[in-house]
Amino acid sequence: MARIFCIANQKGGVGKTTTTVNLAAGLAKVGQRVLMVDLDPQGNATMGSGVDKRQLKASIYDVLLESSSIAEARVTSDKLVAAGCSYDVLGANRELAGAEVELVDVERRERRLKSALAEVADDYDFILIDCPPSLSMLTLNGLCSAHGVLVPMQCEYFALEGLTDLINTIKQVRANMNKDLAVIGLLRVMFDPRITLQQQVSDQLKEHFTDKVFDTVIPRNVRLAEAPSYGVPGVVFDPASKGAQAYVAFAREMVARIAAL
């Protein structure tokens, strides 16, 4: 049965999507069966996985509105198959922005994704959900479905402030909707050790959150930023780059952590 993780942080531009697609590719590379779910109407994780969001026959939108199953809507990019690190994609596009409103009046609206994922959970070892930068009904669907949350964060001054809000939200979801939900870990991303402030924030994180901070650190690396324009994760685009290697190391760390749970 798949372990299901949300990649969440209500701030935009902190590396959620980059982490989702590269962790998916890294896990695939080390032999795990992975489904990547794009819960952001921007569809960046879809495009960054080699799937054209404008050409989707069915998307996460259809799944949330129960007009399609995940088995019907999931796709795999040929580019990733050719590279030997392929994972399935449940894609998103702008249509998803409308789901928020359309779900207002339906039953079990925050549990739609959970029910749909239950049908395919046996097909995968990991299901990764790329969340939008907000606490919307979409993110709530993600948090209700998941066993845990991965929080990518930049080691900057305000990062700690945002973290408190996110952790409070997760506590509320755990109390009211999903008792299994836990913060699996904080992932330091876009890290530049030459910047003293980043080193200081990193040290503070480890002091406060101890073993909740992943050992792997993702460096700032231009190859990771270039990869989306080629429609592949950095792990596929330039496997030898420091960024790609860090994400594969992170995938191994995740596999080890899950085995130890």
Site string for ligand ADP, 22-61 (x = CB under 6 A): ----------------------x-----------------
**What is the residue whose two structure tokens read 């530049």?**
192
Report the residue from 59, 93, 141, 221 that binds ligand ADP according to the rule CB under 6 A.
Answer: 221
Report the residue from 16, 74, 114, 188 that binds Mg ion according to the rule CB under 5 A.
Answer: 16
Find the DSSP H helices in the chain. Answer: 16-29, 44-47, 60-64, 70-73, 78-83, 96-102, 112-120, 137-145, 159-176, 196-209, 222-226, 234-237, 242-260
Q: Does 114 bind Mg ion (CB under 5 A)?
A: no
Q: Does 111 bind ligand ADP (CB under 6 A)?
A: no
Backbone angles phi, psi at 11, to 5 degrees: -80, 145
| DSSP string for 186-222 | EEEEEE-TTSHHHHHHHHHHHHHHGGGEEEEEEEP-H
Amino acid 20 reads: T
Backbone angles phi, psi at 184, to 5 degrees: -75, -40
At its nearest, how many Å lie between ligand ADP and the CB of residue 105? 30
Q: Residue 187: name the closest of 197, 202, 173 by CA.
A: 202
| Between 13 and 193, CB nearer to Mg ion | 13
Q: Which two tokens stand for residue 55?
A: 């050409």
Report the residue from 17, 145, 178, 216 that binds Mg ion according to the rule CB under 5 A.
Answer: 17
Interatomic CA distance for residues 221 and 71, integer angstroms: 35
| Between 50 and 68, CB nearer to ligand ADP | 50
| Between 181 and 235, CB nearer to ligand ADP | 235
Site string for ligand ADP, 235-254 (x = CB under 6 A): --------x-----------
Q: Taking CB under 6 A as the criterion, which residues in 73-92 touch ligand ADP?
A: none
Interatomic CA distance for residues 20 and 16, integer angstroms: 6
Q: Taking CB under 6 A as the criterion, which residues in 115-174 touch ligand ADP?
A: 133
Site string for Mg ion, 24-53 (x = CB under 5 A): --------------------x---------
Chain positions contacting ligand ADP, by CB under 6 A: 12-18, 44, 133, 189-190, 218, 220-221, 224-225, 243
